Structure 1
Amino acid sequence: MRKSISVLAPAGQQRSAYALDSIATELVFMVGPAVGVAVATQVGTTAVLAAIGVAVSGAGVLLLVFDPPTRADQVVRATSPSADGTVPPVEPVSPSAHGASPSVKDAAPATGPARRLSWLTPTVAAVLAASAGATIVLVGTDLAILAHLRAHDQVGSLGIVYFAWCLGSVVGGLAYGSRHRATSSMLLLLALGALTIPLGLAHSVLGLTLLAFVAGLPCAPVMTATAEEVARMVPEERRGEAMGWQGTAFTVGSAVGSPVLGLVIDAAAPWVAFVAAGGAGVLIAVVGLVVRRARRAADPQGELRF
């Protein structure tokens, strides 16, 4: 879907489109588990699993029916009707009209193994690391919130805290999507990690709710920025592969973050998990910023490849 957005949305509106996509994704990740647990406890897990199956299958059917384009040459721009009322043949939209930089479009094609990895620059690798880091922070925060409320016998307030967290992400996504200038995904990841750490200071549901709202502000923006950067940095013919690897980075972040931070909660306390999750995001962001600065110093023309 994000690959389709990269060719459907005009260059000046891609950030808004990716922000809307990130807001929808964050709503699912933050509200979905709470709703699923609530329905499972009141109705049963069978109903929940059946609803998930129907929703996923329905989404797949809609995807098949609408069949959104994933390449610029699949998008056409209709010209104005002629005097006799007929519409002249449509013209393909140039890839450069959708945000591809001249350096990417005009680059000489590589061959063999070099071609397969031609899109993987140190900067793109840093974006993939930011994607994994953001997921680690979000998964860790998710687990730590539940553990914190359980430790204080206030699990019933989970929906309230999740709603505040989600609301913060929505507000942040709307604000970032309306901006005309991009912000580095590493800076946004740094903010996400730094604002997550104070959640460990909460001693009440109200305090946790307010801090969760603040911590949620960079959630959708960092997801938006990583998607936007991959679409901008990678040539269209390799963009699907790069976005696939970004999806893998999200999965790796979740697969690593859940068990590690779960062990932290079991061995120490929920507040330690907030610090660990936020600290991991800050560490990855700082390393990424250092890599980007070193890369710009060593390769000012942007030609370096792995």
Structure 2
Amino acid sequence: MPGMQHYRRLLATPGIKSLLVLMFFARIPSTASGMAVTLHVAVGLGHSYGAAGLAGAVVTIGHAVGGPIAGRLVDRYGLRTLVLITTIGEALFWIVAPRVPYALLLALGFVGGMLILPAMSIGRQAIAALVPPESRRTAYSLDSISVELTYMFGPTLAVLLCTQAGTRAALTWLGITIVVLGAAVYLVNPAVRSEDEAPVGQARPPRKEWLTGRLIAVLLVGGAAVFVLAGMEVAIIADLRAYGELPLTGVVIAASCVASMVGGLVHGVVRRSLPSVVLLTLLSALCVPIGLAGDAWWILALAVLPMSLMCAPTLAATAESVSTLAPAAVRGEAMGLQSAALTLGGAAGTPVIGFVMDHSSPSWGYAAAGIGGLIIAAIAAVAVVRGRRTPETVAP
């Protein structure tokens, strides 16, 4: 097929296949953790869904806060130091979490979230180290497709474990999985710097020199994209519930994920990508009218496809931009900031759009998600324009 030589060339790069496989599995605990804690509180401890949602949110916020800190540790001390700290810390958390009351679980959840292995940012750092700049669009597109698969698999696995084995057993097994995967990452120790870049631990440029308007715009775009996607998903659930077709939610969301992966594959072979702000604008604008679709699940599944085609390309473009704009000496922190932006965007999307629909209808949920994305796209565009007035630091 035309364009597939880009992927063949990428997969011929030494170490890239094993990296993609390892990072796919290493991301599963972070995508499953919030759901596992939520179900433990609601089912295992018997609390309300509001309390369960708060517990899951605390873990998510901790993960977002921990991302930049973890990245800074990688920049200064190397990957293995971070993996050792997070693996031991997470093992302790998942052993204790099923055995403490709710109030203590909330406090521990924030710390446990901070200690989740930041597999997403680690994978993107390693791609920047392994893959030459001219192939990074293809690499980050493939990585975004892998992320889509992980988010399809991780929460589903958490639900399966919690419902079949009980929430205590599920949290314990999650801890064991984290130890195994952490040990695998420690042993493989993927490179986070290329041979021609400064080694880990070298002097860092001041943050004001690299955290420029353009990079901030990229972070805003990533967070906004996940905000829109999270809002769309909760609107789909509300829509199908109103139609009386709630059991088909998984089919509609799966169709959205497949479309996103197709978009990612195409994005990976184009010669010139659209700017991430433009991709976010398209993603958001195509979300607004979804609520005008008919009242059948298959019509809704078709309606979400155009927007979904923009998902993986938008996220891939933001990762590529971060790898270009951030100097190698601070790449870990920059990728951690991007991971935090994505996490917070998703954490905000569900409650905000849920609130809108509580006071209107599911159709307004899509519109609100899209309008929110368009507003942030406009802010990001202003940051890009202002950033062009000052010289940018690029990765050596």
1:43 aligns with 2:134: no
- What amino acid is aligned across from residue 255 of structure 2 in structure 1? A
Kindly provide the CA deviation profile for residues 185-231 of structure 1, in whole angstroms up to 9, marking residues without a partner as x: 11111111111122211221111101122221111111101110011
Larger Rg: 1
Contact in 2 for aligned 1:193/1:278 (Cα 8 Å):
yes
Distance in 2 between residues matched to 1:28 and 1:154, nearest whole Å: 25
Instruction: Give the secondary-structure state (helix, strand or coil) at the position aligned to 1:16.
Output: helix
Change (3 A) 1:119 1:29: same
8 Å CA contact 1:140–1:274 kept in 2: the answer is yes
CA 1:143–1:221: 2 relative to 1, 3 Å: same
Shift of 1:55: 4.2
Residue pair 1:34, 1:158 contacting (<8 A) in 2 also: no
Which of 158, 162, 166 in structure 1 is aligned with 2:249? Answer: 158
Greater RCO (Cα-Cα under 8 Å, separation 6 or more): 1
Distance 1:259 1:204, change over 3 A: same
Q: Is 2:364 the partner of 1:272?
A: yes
Aligned-residue offset at 1:94: 2.0
Contact 1:190–1:281 (CA under 8 A) maintained in structure 2: yes
1:250 Cα offset (Å): 1.3
Structure 2: stretches of 5+ with no match in the other structure: 1-122
Q: Percent identity?
A: 38
Structure in which a larger fraction of residues adopt helix: 2
Deviation at 1:294, TM superposition (A): 4.1
Cα distance, 1:2–1:136 mapped onto 2, change above 3 Å? same
Partner AA of 1:177 in structure 2 = G
2:374 is the counterpart of 1:282: yes
Q: Which amino acid aligns with 1:164?
A: A
**Which residue is equivalent to 1:83?**
none
Alignment equivalent of 1:142, drawn from 233, 239, 243: 233
Number of the residue aligned with 1:253: 345
- 1:66 corresponds, among 176, 180, 188, to 188
CA apart distance, 1:149: 1.0
Residue 279 of structure 2: which of 169, 184, 188 is its match? 188
Shift of 1:33: 3.8
1:130–1:189 contact (8 Å) kept in structure 2:
yes
Report SS of the residue matched to 1:70: coil
Corresponding position of 1:3: 125
Give the letter aligned to residue 270 of structure 1. Answer: P
Q: 1:94 is matched with which residue?
A: 196
Give yes or no for contact 1:149–1:157 (8 Å, CA) kept in 2. Answer: yes
Deviations 1:140-183 (A, max 9, x none): 11111111111222111111101100001100000001122232
Whichever residue aligns with residue 249 of structure 2, its letter is: L
Q: TM-score, normalised by structure 2?
A: 0.62
Deviations 1:86-121 (A, max 9, x none): xxxxxxx3249xxxxxxxxxxxx887xxx1332111
The one of 218, 232, 237 equivalent to 2:324 is 232
Matched residue SS, 1:164: helix
Q: Distance in 2 between matches of 1:156 and 1:209?
A: 14
Q: Classify 1:287/1:163 alpha carbon distance in 2 versus 1 (closer, same or farther; 3 Å).
A: same
Q: CA RMSD, aligned part only?
A: 2.4
Alignment partner of 1:205 is 2:297: yes
Structure 1 contact 195–215 (Cα < 8 Å) conserved: yes
Q: Are the equivalent residues in 1 in contact too, given 2:212–2:387 (CA < 8 A)?
A: no
| Deviation at residue 58 of structure 1 after TM alignment | 3.4
Are 1:31 and 1:163, in contact at CA under 8 Å, matched by a contact in 2? no
SS in 1 for 2:210: coil
Report the secondary structure of 1:43's partner residue: helix
**CA 1:218–1:239 in structure 2 vs 1: closer, same or farther (change >3 Å)?**
same
One-letter amino acid of the structure 2 residue matched with residue 260 of structure 1: V
Query: Secondary structure of the equivalent of 2:244?
Result: coil
